[in-house]
Amino acid sequence: MPNQKAAAPGQVLRLLYFNAGFWRQSRLRAIVFAAGYNLAFGPTARPRAGDAVVVWGKSPTAHRGEEFAARHGLPVWRVEDAFVRSVNLGRAGDAPLGLLIDPIGVHFDISRPSRLEQILAKDPLDDAPLLARARQGIARLRALDISKYNMHDQGLAPPQAGYVLVVDQTRGDASIAHSGADAARFADMLEAARNEHPTARIVIKTHPETARGYRAGHFGPKDCDSRTEILDANISPWAVLEGAIAVYVVASQMGLEAILAGHRPQVFGGPFYAGWGLSDDRMALPRRARKLTRAQMFAASHLIAPHWFNPHAGALCSFEEMLDVLQAALRARREDGAGYIAAGMRAWKRGRLQAMFGANKPLIFMKNTQKAARRAHKMGRKLMVWGMASAPPGTPVLRVEDGLLRSIGLGADLTPPSA
């Protein structure tokens, strides 16, 4: 149901879109609606008071909306993922938990201010409770091992500490060109890291989308030598930052995380977090003269600017509540990620077990527990049994039972459990 309000002078209530993603992605629509805006398909809409055009960042299809807005004298709003997004990559199908909805610009475009930049430049950022939340938020991200994407394997160790970290990005990423950089800056960055640390090991961190084969990066085997290696393993960004003695980035979000981890990164582009006294900047950023603390940076980027969303409530929420949701999803992934062989489960229970435990890998059901245990061992999965059913000694096993608050109906009537 549309948000039924009349637009006050200058107020935007309806966003006209020209990108199919706004139609296909239900989570994207839900967050925009929860933020107080209706979405309408631009090519068939008749512009009216209270309209703006919405586009995805600086995507290749953004020109459709930009051209329509220019013809009809409408403002252009830009939407991008927030800095904590999801468990898996968006290209793998995971929906975002937060968005930046920006009526001014987009945070990675150095050519003009964005809403986030205005917050960093003009908001007092001196509220004691807000800064306390920021410090707690930074600590919690690190303690929970949460980044923008969170499919890393906590069992994988980073390289031996003492290296210089050089962070790659995907070729053609909009944040590179719009931060004032290009592909040549990555070569410059690697050369600078080598020259400025002539005896240190160099570790080039591959972007997750490159590691998964979605998009190419800027570095490869040709860039390796006796002291330079490529790190494409699925290792926690926080763990990688922990072992670094210096961090070099162009415009990657890992530069922001490096700041939050206590580093002072060398920045070769103009991302939003550069120019505030928290990084060594290789580009002139005269528009940004204010000096900020890490807590102030986090307060702006994670607490004030984003619209966070709780998909279970279908409503906007605080950063902390979003983190609760993500923490639960991560716990499920980290505990259930290897998958299960479920032995001896009655047929009517299987659908609910699949829904609760098969989000990462579908459960495989078998009747015979001994055969199920052997298959689990062979596939690197855990064995799942009901209650106190017998299991072979030494077999990793998950025992499941109905929760203490089970359902409205009886299990004897085949009512599926809610917990």
7 located within any domain: no
Q: How confident is the model at residue 201, as a pLDDT?
A: 98
Query: For residue 10, is it within any domain?
Result: no
Confidence of residue 408 (pLDDT cuts 50, 70, 90): low
Alpha carbon distance 201, 189 (integer Å): 15
For residue 242, pLDDT over 50 is answered with yes
**Euclidean distance between CA atoms 379 and 373, whole angstroms:** 10
Determine the pLDDT at residue 4. 46
The residues, any chain, with a CB within 8 Å of residue 160's CB and separated by 6 or more, are 243
Nearest to 33 by CA among 257, 316, 290: 316
- Is 59 within the bounds of a domain? no
CB-based contacts of 116: which residues, under 8 Å, 6+ apart?
100, 102, 107, 272, 300, 301, 305
Q: Are residues 167 and 271 in the same domain?
A: yes
* pLDDT tens-digit map of 32-41: 999 999 999 9
Q: Say which DSSP state 97 is in.
A: S
Any domain includes 127? no
Of 379, 385, 373, 309, the C-alpha closest to 346 is 385
Report the CATH number that the domain containing residue 176 is assigned in CATH: 3.40.50
Q: What is the pLDDT of residue 78?
A: 98
Q: What is the mean pLDDT of residues 313-330?
A: 96
Same domain, 262 and 341: no
One domain, residues 157 and 248: yes
Higher per-residue pLDDT: 384 or 335: 384
In a domain, 264, yes or no: yes
| 217 DSSP 8-state letter | B
Q: Give me the helix-helix angle, 128-144 and 253-260, nearest 10°.
A: 110
Is residue 178 over pLDDT 80?
yes
Rounded to an integer, the average pLDDT of 106-125 is 97
Q: Quick one: average pLDDT of 92-114? A: 96
Of the residues 264, 287, 310, the one at which a domain ends? 287
Q: Using DSSP, how many helices (H) and how many strands (E) does the chain show?
A: 14, 17
- Per-residue pLDDT for 361 more than 70? yes
Say whether pLDDT at 2 is over 60.
no
* DSSP designation for 409: S
Tell me if 259 sits within 8 A of 237, measured CB to CB.
no
Please give the pLDDT value at position 39: 96
Residue whose pair of structure tokens reads 């631009």 in the numeric block: 42
Q: Are residues 259 and 169 in the same domain?
A: yes
220 to 186, 193, 231: CA distances (angstroms): 12, 16, 10
Closest CA to 278 of 292, 289, 290, 257: 292
**Residue 14 carries which side chain, given as an amino acid letter?**
R
What's the pLDDT score for residue 414? 63
185 and 274 part of one domain: yes
Residue after which a domain boundary falls, among 254, 287, 320? 287
Asked if 345 and 279 sit in the same domain, the reply is: no
Residue 130, domain member (yes or no) = no
256 and 160 both lie in a single domain: yes
Domain match, 258 and 379 both: no
Mean pLDDT of 261-275: 98
Same domain, 152 and 278: yes
Whether residue 169 sits in one domain with residue 236: yes
Tell whether the model's pLDDT for residue 116 goes beyond 80. yes
* Predicted confidence (pLDDT) at residue 8 exceeds the cutoff of 80: no
Last residue of a domain, one of 245, 265, 287: 287
Task: Look at residue 407 and tell me if it is in a domain.
Answer: yes
Give the residue numbers spanning the domain of 210.
Answer: 148-287
**Mean pLDDT along residues 157-163:** 96
Counting the structural domains of the chain, the total is 2
Residue 172 in any domain: the answer is yes
pLDDT at residue 419 greater than cutoff 70: no
Average of per-residue pLDDT across 249-273: 98
Starting at the earlier edge strand, list the strands of the sheet with 280-281.
228-231, 202-205, 163-167, 244-249, 266-267, 280-281
- Nearest-angstrom CA–CA distance, 312 and 109: 33
Question: Which residues face 232 on adjacent strands?
Answer: none
Task: Look up the pTM and report it.
Answer: 0.88
> Bridge-partner residues for 15, per DSSP?
39, 52
252 lies in the same domain as 349: no
Do 345 and 281 reside in the same domain of the chain?
Answer: no
The set of residues, in sequence order, having a beta carbon less than 8 Å from that of 26 and lying 6+ positions away, is 95
